[in-house]
Amino acid sequence: MAGPNAVLQPALSRPRRARGRLFALVRFVVMLATTLLGLLAMTFFIGRVIPVDPVLAVVGDRASAQVVERTRIEMGLDRPLIEQFGIYVARVAQGELGQSVLTSRPVLDDIFRVFPATLELATYGTLIGVLFGVPLGVMAAVRRGGLIDQLVRVVGLLGYSIPIFWLGLLALLLFYAKLGWVSGPGRIDVVFEYTFTPLTGIYSLDALLRGDWSAFANIVSHLALPSALLGYFSLAYISRMTRSFMLHELSQEYIVAARAKGLPERTIIWRHALRNAAVPLVTVIALSYAGLLEGSVLTETVFSWPGLGLYITNALANADMNAVLGGTVVIGAIFIGLNLLSDLLYRTLDPRTRRR
């Protein structure tokens, strides 16, 4: 970390600094472990008290009483709850998330299959939200009560109140069925089913890596609607937050000072005010990104997008606990990871936090 503020850092001796870092790392690992354990415990017990018989998902409605009973024992459901949880945690600690009963596959494989689909959608959605939401929010704050401010208000209001399900269908009807501008539900056309082999599961990236331009165009055209939709909702939120952070900054004394100094308004807004507003904004963006990464069940349903949201919802409705818990671990890790990332960005953006 170099820069004008580097001199302000207290001069620590090398061994002390190393010890400090080690301590911070240990503290982080302990925090990570306890958070995940708590999360698992909560999910596990909630999953066991919901009034759904997990055996039903495995054997269906028609199995004989003996089959049901045998399966219950095979699944370990006859043991005390706390023991079941202990067994599960011990397995997770060994990196074993178990099998999903709904897909007959290891939960880890399932997550590697469904998560990239959600990651891709959430990333484009957030990019759209940030690229359009931040400038809109800034402009709304600068011209408070002006046209753009009204626009941001309406956009935000609609974003909060329109059911995403309805909007998704409407968008499909217009842009896909009527105008034919974009491709429909799913991630890629079936014609590519035999020519395009994914690498990472993030299709748009895979197509680029493979240099398959026709697949890339098709993938982007499939991505356009769902990511625009998620982007819109993220934009509605980010622009409102940007606006209020900016209003706060613009009322500060240093802005008056900057104006008195005769700095151009553009510099004051974009270089001074936004830079300070960016600090809390990073958290807002990170949390909205994490929210999208959980998977949006409704968007995934309308667009037949085989992502994490549908996977977990399906699993939960059928009490497929291995899958639910596996998904929870992933989501928990994402939240922790993004929190960590926004902390790191804080340090870059806010010089005061660097001293500690």
Partner 1 sequence: MTIDWGQLRRLQACLVIAATLSVPFAGRALAATPPDTLVQAWAIDDIIGLDPAEAFEISAAEMLGNSYDRLVRLDIDDPSQLVNDLAEEWEVSADGRTFTFTLREGMTFASGNPITADDVAWSIQRAVKLDKSPAFILTQFGLTPENVESRARATDARTFVFETDQAYAPSFVLNCLTANVAAVVDRQLVEAEARDGDFGNGWLRTHYAGSGPMTIRDWRPNEILVLERNERYHGEQAKLTRVIYRNVRESATQRLMLQSGDIDVARNLQPNDLDQIANLDTVRVISAPKGTIYYFSLNQKNPELAKPQVREAFKYLVDYDGIQASLIKGIGEIHQNFLPKGMLGASDESPYHLDVDKAKSLLAEAGLGDGFSITMDVRNTQPVTGIAESVQQTMAEAGVRLEIIPGDGAQTLTKYRARSHDMYIGQWGVDYWDPNTNADTFASNPDNADDSGVSTLAWRNAWDIPELTEESRAAVLESDTAARVALYDDLQRKVREQSPYVILFQQTEVAAVADGVQGYRLGPSFDTNYVYNVSKE
Name the segment binding partner 1 (CB under 8 A); options: 25-33, 38-46, 98-106, 144-152.
Answer: 98-106
The CB-of-10 to partner 1 minimum distance in angstroms stands at: 20
The CB-of-216 to partner 1 minimum distance in angstroms stands at: 10
Q: Does 62 bind partner 1 (CB under 8 A)?
A: yes
Q: How many residues bind partner 1 (CB under 8 A)?
A: 73
Residues 6+ apart with CB under 8 A from 284: 237, 238, 241
Please name the amino acid found at residue 107. V
Q: Does 350 bind partner 1 (CB under 8 A)?
A: no
State the alpha helices, DSSP H only, in the chain.
14-49, 54-59, 65-74, 81-93, 107-142, 147-161, 164-171, 203-210, 213-250, 253-260, 265-266, 274-293, 297-302, 308-317, 321-349
Q: Does 38 bind partner 1 (CB under 8 A)?
A: no
> Nearest CA to 123 among 239, 282, 285, 275?
285
Q: For the beta carbon of residue 284, count every other beta carbon within 10 angstroms.
A: 17
Q: Does 32 bind partner 1 (CB under 8 A)?
A: no
Strand partners, 99: 106
The CB-of-169 to partner 1 minimum distance in angstroms stands at: 6
> Nearest CA to 331 among 351, 216, 323?
323
The CB-of-22 to partner 1 minimum distance in angstroms stands at: 25
Q: Does 33 bind partner 1 (CB under 8 A)?
A: no
Name the segment binding partner 1 (CB under 8 A); options: 27-35, 240-248, 253-261, 302-310.
Answer: 302-310
Q: Does 107 bind partner 1 (CB under 8 A)?
A: no
- Closer by beta carbon to partner 1, 34 or else 197: 197
> Nearest CA to 253 among 273, 271, 267, 281?
273
Name the segment binding partner 1 (CB under 8 A); options: 49-57, 239-247, 286-294, 333-341.
Answer: 49-57
Q: Does 198 bind partner 1 (CB under 8 A)?
A: no
Name the segment binding partner 1 (CB under 8 A); options: 12-20, 177-185, 232-240, 331-339.
Answer: 177-185
Q: Does 275 bind partner 1 (CB under 8 A)?
A: yes
Burial class (CB in 10 A: 0-12, 13-18, 19+), 100: buried
Q: Does 237 bind partner 1 (CB under 8 A)?
A: no
